Amino acid sequence: NAGVTQTPKFRILKIGQSMTLQCTQDMNHNYMYWYRQDPGMGLKLIYYSVGAGITDKGEVPNGYNVSRSTTEDFPLRLELAAPSQTSVYFCASIRDREFSSGNTIYFGEGSWLTVV
Amino acid sequence: LAKTTQPISMDSYEGQEVNITCSHNNIATNDYITWYQQFPSQGPRFIIQGYKTKVTNEVASLFIPADRKSSTLSLPRVSLSDTAVYYCLVGGGPFSGGYNKLIFGAGTRLAVHP
C-alpha cells in the first residue's frame, strides 16, 4: 500500500512549456485534490474530484487542467507554463465525503516545479 | 466547509506546553474537527480528530467546548521537532457538504526555540 504517489518530484520548465504532474493513489479513495503551496504560504486548492469522471475547480484553477478517468489517477496538466506557477504541488485523497473513525486525508510527498 | 480562524504564528520553548486555538463559529451539527501538521517540504499529516469534549492520543490532545465554536490543540512538552505549521479543518459531517471542496486556512506557524 503506497498511499498517494506523485511524480515527478522535481521539474524545471521553460516559460510556455507544458507538462503533467501525475498523482496515483492505491487506497480506493473517491475524493482527490490538487493543491499548490507557495513559499511561506498556506495550501491553495487548484482542482478536486469527487469520483471518476467528475472534476471541479478549486480556488486557483487558472492555467491548469485535470482529468479523472480512473479512481486511482488524477493528473494535473499545466499548459503554457508561467513563472507564477513556480510552486510546490501536493496531491491528496480521502476515502469519502464524511468523517468516520479513521477517515483522514492523505497527502503525497509533493512535486517541486520551477518555471524559468 | 466551516470557515476557521487561527493565529498566524506562535513561539514557544522546548519543554513547554503549547495550545493553539481555532475558531469555527459556523460549525455544523455533524462536523468533525481535525488538525493537521505540516513540516517544511512535506505534505500535511493527520494529528488528531474530535467531535466534542476531549480527545487524546500519543502526540496531542484536542479540547472542544460544549458549544463547539472553537477547539484547542494542545501539544505537551514540545521539542524542536514540533516546529511546523498546524492546520485546523472543520467539516466532514453527513449534512455539511462533506469534503467536496477541501480548503485549508492559512494555518499556525509554530516555532519552538531551544
Chain B residues with beta carbon closer than 8 angstroms to that of A98: 92-94, 98-99
Contact between A103 and B92 using a beta-carbon 8 Å cutoff: yes
* Residue A102 pLDDT greater than 80, yes or no: no
| Residue type at B109 in one-letter notation | R
**Number of A–B residue contacts, CB under 8 Å:** 71
| Residue type at B32 in one-letter notation | Y
Q: For residues A77 and A64, give the distance between their C-alpha atoms in angstroms, rounded to a whole number.
A: 6
Contact between B94 and A98 using a beta-carbon 8 Å cutoff: yes
Give the model confidence (pLDDT) of B55-99 as tens digits: 999 999 999 999 999 999 999 999 999 999 999 988 765 555 556
Give the model confidence (pLDDT) of A35-84 as tens digits: 999 988 889 999 999 899 999 999 899 999 999 999 999 999 998 999 99
Quote the Cα angle for B99-B102-B104, to 5°: 140
* Residue B30 pLDDT greater than 80, yes or no: no
Chain A residues with beta carbon closer than 8 angstroms to that of B102: 31, 33, 45, 48, 92, 94, 105
- Name the CA dihedral angle for B93, B35, A41, A15, rounded to a multiple of 10 degrees: -60
| Range B63-102 burial, b when 16+ CB lie within 10 A, else e | bbeeebebbbbbbeebeeebbbbbbbbbbbbeebbbbebb
Give the model confidence (pLDDT) of A21-38 as tens digits: 999 999 999 899 999 999
Task: Give chain A's contact residues with B (Cβ, < 8 Å).
Answer: 31, 33, 35, 41-43, 45, 48, 50, 56, 58-59, 88, 90, 92, 94, 96-99, 103-105, 107-110
Q: For residues B43 and A42, give the distance between their C-alpha atoms in angstroms, rounded to a whole number.
A: 11
